[in-house]
Structure 1
Amino acid sequence: MVALNPGYHRELHRAAGALADRLTDVPDPQVVDLACGSGASTAALARALPEAELLGLDASSGMLAAAGAKQWPARVRFEQAVAGELDLERLGRGSRDGVLTCYLFRNVPEPLRDVAVAEVFALLRPGGWLVVQEYSVAGNRGARRVWDAVSHAVIIPLGALLDRNPGLYRYLWRSVLDFDSVARFADRLVAAGFTDVSHRTATGWQRGILHTFVARKPEPQP
């Protein structure tokens, strides 16, 4: 299904590039790919940040096995972890220069969403950057109509045909509808302590549906 979305990898590389652009002055940056899945976002990071030490974290042992089966440089490693329940001391509180997370927060239960954002804030060093890529259509009627049409005409039927798991793709459709609006998620970032919060949407059919947020953990005030 990913292969049938022509913008999927392009947008992952754009998100990884957005993080890389903000770490140009950091030697050998320490970066986390939170919710790394089977490693597509990690590969985008490895390409954008060739000198970075990359840690991919995911809740799914199956996804981690798929990621670990691929060829990686020694600077890339993977561990199992659940957003909202991260062991911050083990992972290194305040030790990371950047965090990329793609398609995570929509899947975190709403009562734990602020907890998960706060965990990312705690992982970052002062001055570190967070880049989030996520679907959101709340409050945007045009984007909602496009998402409904694409989901029911393409995503769910192909999920039934190719993966024989239409329930997974119905969940995808519904989870996007239920997620925060762009403004609500940006407010979560600000409430957690992030500054310099910015946002852009994707191109193509995903315009207004797929979004990339960028935010910085501020330096301590003198």
Structure 2
Amino acid sequence: MYPSEGGFREALTMNDPGKTTHFGFRDVPEEEKAGLVHGVFSSVASKYDVMNDLMSAGVHRIWKDAMMDWLAPRPGQRLLDVAGGTGDVAFRFLKRAPGASAVVCDMTEGMLVAGRKRAEADSLSDHLDWVVGDAMALPFPSGAFDSYTISFGIRNVTRIADALSEAYRVLRPGGRLMVLEFSHIPNDLMQKAYDLYSFNVIPAMGQIVTGDRDSYQYLVESIRKFPDQEAFATLIRQAGFAQVKYRNLSMGIAALHSGWKI
């Protein structure tokens, strides 16, 4: 059994008090961002899956299936799914790879609680662990996993480079990183249309479904602050990964990034 709280607490003490980062379109001290993000996901945890279906018209499920198609889980492998609170990716991985095991790691306990309540969690419980921890200071030994996934979570990390370095550390040689994240549409006109939808519809939808407009306003803003496909691929290479590639999904609304620890 892995420790649960230690990595998160350690990460909160590692921030440079003189540095700032973005929280959506706001600049905030680095040491405040983790707490702010924690507040966002604590607020929406119980309706997180419902909102994902509504915001994407269910397309996020197709994206996650595409992630599994490219990852190609094999029997006996061990997965770490970071920021995977409600278990979507871990469940898919285990169903495709008999005898495999997975750890879902998330900094928000409420998300993990919501994940445990899902029907899939009961049928896969013998192969699945739930751990509270921070992506920048994972509470796991080096070389412990065959695969590392993070879906729609890395843009919320205070220092993306630190999270990628931790991903590299916990993977075994020959292990694979795969990131699913919202990205940038290469067509300016289509990007403008998507922005109109995102900024006008999603926060209003969040207010109706969860009673929390501000959290979904942040989530929309955080997408616009995330690096584009090429810039993010460069960050993955700088963390030490090889054979770094990406694939656009839905014309670039989201992208899959892959890298190997060689």
After superposition, residues 133-148 of structure 1 pair within 5 angstroms as 133-137=180-184, 141-142=188-189, 144-148=191-195
Deviations along 1:196-215, whole A, 9 cap, x unmatched?
11111113xxx212000011
After superposition, residues 63-102 of structure 1 pair within 5 angstroms as 63-70=111-118, 71-73=122-124, 74-87=126-139, 91-102=140-151
Pick the structure with more helix per residue: 2
1:159 is aligned to 206
Which of 222, 226, 251 aligns to 1:175? It is: 222
Read off the aligned partner of 2:165 and give its amino acid letter. A
Of 97-106 and 147-156, deviating more is: 147-156
Distance change (3 Å), C-alpha of 1:124 and 1:154: same
Deviations along 1:122-156, whole A, 9 cap, x unmatched?
01111111110001228763453133122134212
Read off the aligned partner of 1:56 and give its amino acid letter. V
Check if 1:32 corresponds to 2:80: yes
2:67 is aligned to 15
Query: How many residues are matched?
Result: 206
Check if 1:211 corresponds to 2:255: yes
Residues in 1 aligned to 2:231 and 2:241: alpha-carbon distance in whole angstroms = 14
Q: Percent identity?
A: 26
Check if 1:185 corresponds to 2:229: no
Distance change (3 Å), C-alpha of 1:142 and 1:50: farther
Distance change (3 Å), C-alpha of 1:142 and 1:123: farther
Q: CA deviation at 1:37?
A: 1.6
Residues in 2 aligned to 1:7 and 1:141: alpha-carbon distance in whole angstroms = 22
Equivalent pair of 2:53/2:59 in contact (CA under 8 Å): no
2:153 is aligned to 104
Equivalent pair of 2:68/2:93 in contact (CA under 8 Å): yes
Q: Secondary structure at the match of 2:217?
A: helix
After superposition, residues 36-51 of structure 1 pair within 5 angstroms as 36-51=84-99
Q: Secondary structure at the match of 1:158?
A: helix
Alignment gaps of 5+ in structure 2: 1-50
Residues in 2 aligned to 1:11 and 1:152: alpha-carbon distance in whole angstroms = 22
Residues in 2 aligned to 1:142 and 1:185: alpha-carbon distance in whole angstroms = 23
Read off the aligned partner of 2:218 and give its amino acid letter. Y
Which of 162, 171, 175 aligns to 1:128? It is: 175
Deviations along 1:167-191, whole A, 9 cap, x unmatched?
1111011001111111111001101
Q: Secondary structure at the match of 2:113?
A: helix
Residues in 2 aligned to 1:108 and 1:175: alpha-carbon distance in whole angstroms = 10
Distance change (3 Å), C-alpha of 1:140 and 1:186: farther
Residues in 1 aligned to 2:257 and 2:135: alpha-carbon distance in whole angstroms = 18
Check if 1:116 corresponds to 2:177: no
Equivalent pair of 1:30/1:98 in contact (CA under 8 Å): yes
Distance change (3 Å), C-alpha of 1:142 and 1:130: farther
